[in-house]
Amino acid sequence: MPRRCRTAPAPSSFLSRPALKPDQPSIGYGDLLPDTGEPGFGVYVHWPFCAAKCPYCDFNSHVRHQPVDQPRFAAAFLREMEWMRKLSGPKTVTSIFLGGGTPSLMAPETVEAILDGIARHWHVPDGIEITMEANPSSVEATRFRGYRAAGVNRVSLGVQALNDADLKFLGRLHNVEDALKAIGLARDIFPRMSFDLIYARPHQTVEAWEAELRQAISYAVDHLSLYQLTIEEGTPFFGLHKAGKFIVPDGDQSALLYEATQEITAREGLPAYEVSNHARPGAESRHNLTYWRYGDYAGIGPGAHGRLTRGRDKLATATERRPETWVDQVEKNGHGMVDEELLGYDEQADELLLMGLRLKEGVDLARWQQLSGRDPDPNREQALLDHGFIERLGNSRLRCTPSGMLILDSVVADLAC
């Protein structure tokens, strides 16, 4: 059973408004600080534990059949923050993201301790976006209100499908009734809410997906993450798919599903601002924009990655993936780092291009040219322009067209050469 959260409010440094009362409706996303368009500095904290491992998931997530020692892990997060603060120097945080795994398996007290620690090590203004990922099967009202009191102001729900048969196929522990209850609670308690859906599922038609997508949009969300099902090596789905146990839509059918996704979300006021993410204007995920705009972020916890600017270099960091090994290392060394690499200008330019072309706003060409020391190859660029895969936004930005988004990897590869 989850512990009851404390009713005392979180420190004011995290709250842009008082915690919501049980009968108080959520407040619009406009109350968060506006997006400045700058890359920003984010803090990512990885909670690696799940109640069950989904068969399509290749993320760093782990199932433990005994209760996790949350005070021990919270103390380790705080110690690793000290190390990351030394690497980053003083920064103003523009977003915080609690990802996983299933962060909603944490007690509210654990979340509060983590957020308090971030505020001690960096400057955290009022009104920044603080997101937590949650699964509908681990949701209940007391816990959600505890997270809100701790300072969380945006929740991202792993719904994944809105029919029970596909939820079972995807290995989810919740059903549609659980999902709708979680969506309702999130909408009532948090100022901002998003949820994920996976499409291009076996036997899924365009018509069925369109109906499901309209249903999702009807729940008054301001943000949706819509991902095509991919079969990743090392997952149970990889072996089942290879053995012919199920078939996913082919390339042509997947393209039709993608095009229907873009058309419906744009018509309903949630246009794509990134290849798989859709939002009402002003409700875009600030933390994910930091990644795609190639900003800095501190990655804390088992298997977390980070990017920290050091002069003109950028330090790429990665921590130990296995949770128990990570916590042992943090207790011994003050951090769980297993990889630190200074990225040169060419590597930074490639990452900037790879991330930025995912965005509807595209890539800042001056920044790319400063890192790479060159202009895009005119012949390659012209070929992509002629085929309608990319377009210029004045002289300052370059972006993929909707057709280019369908072959994004190839576009990036051509431009990066």
pLDDT digits (tens, 9 = 90+) for 232-258: 999 999 999 999 999 999 989 999 999
In what order do the strands lie in the sheet containing 390-393? Answer: 363-364, 397-400, 390-393
Which pLDDT score, from 0 to 100, does residue 1 have? 28
Place of tokens 């804390």: 300
Q: Which domain holds residue 240?
A: 41-290
Region 125-147: mean pLDDT is 90
Beta strand spans in 85-171 (E): 95-100, 129-134, 154-160
What are the C-alpha distances in Å from 24 to residues 10, 145, 150, 188? Answer: 18, 11, 17, 7
Which pLDDT score, from 0 to 100, does residue 142 have? 84
Residue 261 counted as domain residue? yes
Residue 295 counted as domain residue? no
* Domain count across the chain: 2
Grouping H, G, I as helix, E, B as strand and the rest as coil, residue 242 is helix
Place of tokens 């300052």: 396
Cα 230 from Cα 242, distance rounded (Å): 13
Same domain, 231 and 372: no
Mode of pairing for the β-strands spanning 277-279 and 223-228: antiparallel
Which pLDDT score, from 0 to 100, does residue 313 have? 87
Confidence of residue 12 (pLDDT cuts 50, 70, 90): very low
Report whether 346 contacts 319 (CB < 8 A): no
Q: What is the pTM of this model?
A: 0.90
Which pLDDT score, from 0 to 100, does residue 153 have? 96
Residue with more model confidence, 15 or 414: 414
CATH, residue 135: 3.20.20.70
Region 35-49: mean pLDDT is 95
Instruction: Give residues with Cβ within 8 angstroms of 270, minimum separation 6.
Output: 217, 221, 222, 223, 224, 278, 279, 280
Same domain, 269 and 368: no
pLDDT at 263 over 90: yes
Same domain, 284 and 367: no
The amino acid at residue 385 is L
Same domain, 95 and 213: yes
pLDDT at 58 over 80: yes
Confidence of residue 118 (pLDDT cuts 50, 70, 90): very high
Cα 318 from Cα 299, distance rounded (Å): 8
Beta strand spans in 77-179 (E): 95-100, 129-134, 154-160
Same domain, 246 and 147: yes
For the chain, give the percent of residues with pLDDT over 90: 78
Same domain, 263 and 384: no
Which pLDDT score, from 0 to 100, does residue 3 have? 27
- For the chain, give the mean pLDDT: 89
Other CB atoms within 10 A of residue 171 CB = 15
* CA-based nearest residue to 270, from 207, 355, 195, 179: 195
Report whether 353 contacts 103 (CB < 8 A): no
